[in-house]
Amino acid sequence: MVNKRPYNSNEDNYNKTYDGGFVSSESGKLNNYENKNFTKVFHGSTEADNEILKFIYRTERKIDACISSNAPSVIIEVDEIKNARVTAVKERKIKLRYVTEITTDNLEYCKEMLTFSEIRHLDGMKGNFEVADESEYVAVAVVHEAQSLPQLIFSNVPEIVEQQQFVFDSFWNRAIPAEQRIKEIQEGIVSSVTTVFNDYKQAENKEFEMIKTATKEIQIIYSTANAFHLQEKRGTLELLKQMADQNKKLQISILVPIDSSIKKSLSLQLLNKTINKNIQIQDIAPSIDIKIKSLVVDRKESLVMELKHLQSERLIASIGFSIYSNSLPIVLSFASIFEVIYNQSFLFEQLRQEGELKDEFVNLAAHELRTPIMPIINGLEILEEKLGTRKSEFQKELDIITRNASRLEMLAESILQVSRIESGNFHINIEKNIDIHSLISQVIEDIHKKYLYTDKLNGIMISFLPFYNIGESNLGDGNTANSQEPLSLLVNCDPDKFRQVVFNLLDNAVRFTFQGKIVVSTLLTTVSDYFNKDSDVDNKSDDRDTVGDDNYNNPYNEENKSIEFNKMVIVSVQNEGVGVDPKIKDQLFEKFATKSAQGTGIGLYLSKKIVEAHEGMIWMEEYDYNLKNDLVKNEKIGDNKIVHAETQKRKKRTILKFAFPISNRSERANENWQ
């Protein structure tokens, strides 16, 4: 105990005189003050201590107090104040409640206070005031540890008392029980704190404080390049370098989308040249939706700042809010997010490098594959000339060799085209006024040659129904007329690429048709007439399933109704077969999408890219096919392949369609793709 001035704490002696008035021992109220509302300041420790004692003795029910971390020492060490409170609790059953900040320095005082009062802990508690019976209020501006009060403010003005009672209630509801805080201190547990900063300067000060106290690890995410430049301007990056140079055990990891401006930044060069080589900067993909910067220090603290807007020229951030926390679950959550993004970016970089190696290998393999093919084809031509009249004896063998050599050549070219598309070097050569009917007829002949010496075309009939200018009946999309010649449909396109698309679609139809008809048809129409017509079996059906590019699931949907061209040519390839495997239906036009042992999965992908290069569209429609006869005879087709009746019952009508615009836009397509 400290030495204290003499003071008579006897209640009978106390209740006699005070500043011209006296306290009634029965009522506990100042007779001269009970009808007056006033506020008064008492100066000097004698008056201040006397008034606080009177305040305690006048209390009838409770005292609610918010006190600083120094105040518990005054309550315990100043005997008169302590005894008055203990007596009030034991003899008059007064209830004492305190909100304070419990620390290692005042821990023992708070434990002793718990023997006669209820205490709650609140971090950073400042100020010292007490409210008695919600009718009187006292406050102390300054409290010195274990010393008497230098001065005291008293008020019984209802508005002031009510306001201070509200403040106490708010703090009391936010605070935690003293027993919990004492246990945390004794067991070395850091209490969890989560703070929201609306002021950017406060958040920045906290950020600097966290970086300066880091000992093992700092993890930072800058979701935008501008966030990096903002930190550069504020001096945060310079501070990181200083900390890295001073502490070789400190590991600093930064995730940021590295663009051209960051690559030129002096700060990036300085961060990469630390003395201890303990700063690692990892490039990440830029995010459009997420604009934050986050900081995790030693896996104990985290700070996340929302960047609502960044003006790239002035580097001014509009901060929505910042959240600081030392709560372990929250901190570890942000640390996990950092690690996920880091691992993802690291794996992405590995995949990118492996992708480059794969592309180099594919290009090399495709070129090497083409090298022996040309001599084979040229050699066959020379051999045919030398055979002369005997050529017919070996025609079948020569055709088989030629067909397979051409197949290898097409495969090598397809692989090269995929590589060119992915590298952005895919070109088309537009020619004007190309008759597509002639091109389609050539493709049908090529398909017949491909399967000439196989059983594949047994039971399959390929029909071409070109567009006529008259007639309304159709099969697929082509109109028929007995006495009319088909129109020459002239389109600006790359003829070789056009043939490639038709060949891929027709070859695909042949592979998945075991028996029946394959129909290739053309139609000259307008966008609005075709996609908005009310009656067309090919375009209006309850059992139709349409698949294509995202914009073409109805090819003419809300997203592309503003397309510029109106007239268009539609080419359709319709077959009756097993239909498209449901597992790949949504990825039908994507690379390597196939369930066939024979297909490579790149034909339809290339077709889509070629059609889009002509500013057209491609899609698939599928219908349930209802057979008139449920009983279908089992029939052998090809080598050891049996088509059963159940398979025939489930046969579907599949139509692959693509549309080319007829307008000046086709003339611009080559320029756009070069």
Q: Assign residue 181 the CATH number of its domain.
A: 3.30.870.10
Structural domain for 577, as ranges: 428-673
Task: Tell whether 534 and 600 lie within a shared domain.
Answer: yes
Where among 395, 426, 457 does a domain terminate? 426
> Does residue 579 lie within any of the structural domains?
yes
Asked if residue 422 and residue 434 are part of one domain, the reply reads no
The mean per-residue pLDDT over the stretch 152-162 comes to: 94
Q: Residue for token digits 């073409």?
A: 552
* Degrees, nearest 5: CA angle 309-315-319: 40
Whether the predicted pLDDT of 444 surpasses 80? yes
- Based on the domain organization, do 464 and 581 belong to the same domain? yes
User: For residue 556, which phi and psi values (nearest 5 degrees)?
Assistant: -110, 75
Of 161 and 49, the one with more pLDDT: 161
Residues 373 and 406: their CA atoms lie apart, in Å, by: 8
Instruction: Return the top range by mean pLDDT from 34-38, 588-592, 604-608.
Output: 604-608
Q: How far apart are CA 418 and CA 440, in angstroms?
A: 23
- List pLDDT tens digits, range 410-429: 666 666 777 777 666 778 88
Residue pLDDT, tens place only, 490-526? 888 989 889 989 998 998 888 888 788 899 999 888 8
Q: Are 544 and 622 in contact (CB under 8 A)?
A: yes
Residue 522: what are its φ and ψ, rounded to 5°?
A: -130, 155
3-state class of 658 per DSSP? Answer: strand
| Strand partners of residue 490 | 435
Residue found under tokens 């000097």: 44
Residue 412 sits in the same domain as residue 542: no
Residue 331 lies in a domain: no
What is residue 114's DSSP assignment?
T
Q: Are residues 156 and 281 in the same domain?
A: no
**Per-residue confidence (pLDDT) for residue 34, from 0 to 100:** 56
In degrees rounded to 5, what are phi and psi of residue 385?
Answer: -65, -40
pLDDT at 470: 43
Q: Which segment of 197-211, 476-490, 500-514 scores lowest on mean pLDDT?
A: 476-490
Q: Are residues 174 and 219 in the same domain?
A: no
Domain membership of residue 5 (yes or no) is: no
Question: What is the C-alpha to C-alpha distance for residues 111 and 125, in angstroms, rounded to an integer?
Answer: 18
User: Which of 403, 426, 449 is the endpoint of a domain?
Assistant: 426
- Confirm whether 337 is domain-assigned: no
Residue where one domain finishes, among candidates 293, 326, 359: 326
Residue 2 placed within a domain: no
Residue 319 has a pLDDT of 64
What is the sign of the dihedral through the CA atoms of 327, 328, 329 and 330? positive
Q: Six-digit token pair at 533?
A: 């017509």
Q: Flag whether pLDDT at 547 surpasses 90.
A: no
112 CB-near residues (< 8 Å, 6+ apart): 76
Beta strand 151-155 pairing with 39-43: antiparallel
Measured in Å, how far apart are the chain's first and last C-alpha atoms? 92
Considering the domain boundaries, does residue 1 fall inside one? Answer: no
Cα distances (Å, whole numbers) of residue 225 to 52, 205, 266, 309, 336 = 60, 22, 14, 13, 22
Lowest mean per-residue pLDDT among 69-78, 342-351, 416-425: 416-425
pLDDT of residue 11: 39
SS3 content of the chain, % helix, strand, coil (to 5): 40, 25, 35
| 490 and 585 housed in the same domain | yes
Residues 211 and 160 in one domain: no
Return the higher-pLDDT residue of 30 and 191.
191
Q: Indicate whether 4 belongs to any domain.
A: no
Greater confidence (630 vs 133) lies with 133
Cα dist from 599 to 344, 406, 430, 588, 618, whole Å: 33, 16, 29, 12, 19
Asked whether residue 480 falls in the same domain as residue 623, the answer is yes
Is 364 in a helix, a strand, or coil?
helix
Nearest to 157 by CA among 26, 33, 29: 33
- Name the nearest CA neighbour of 462 among 498, 508, 500, 499: 508
Is the same domain home to 473 and 586? Answer: yes
**Is 438 in the same domain as 405?**
no
**Average predicted confidence (pLDDT) for the chain:** 77
- 332 in any annotated domain: no
Neighbouring residues of 484: CB distance < 8 A, sequence distance ≥ 6: 468, 469, 470, 471
Give the separation between CA 581 and CA 284, rounded to whole angstroms. 37
Q: What is the pLDDT of residue 408?
A: 72
Question: What span, in angstroms and rounded, lies between the C-alpha atoms of 243 and 240?
Answer: 5
Q: How far apart are CA 45 and CA 312, in angstroms?
A: 60
The domain that contains 624 carries what CATH number?
3.30.565.10
Same domain? 419 vs 432: no
Domain count within the chain: 4
pTM of the full structure = 0.45
* Whole-angstrom distance, CA of residue 592 vs CA of residue 604: 9
**Encoding tokens for residue 648?**
């025939």
Question: Edge to edge, what strands does the sheet with 545-548 contain?
Answer: 460-465, 516-526, 567-577, 652-661, 617-624, 545-548
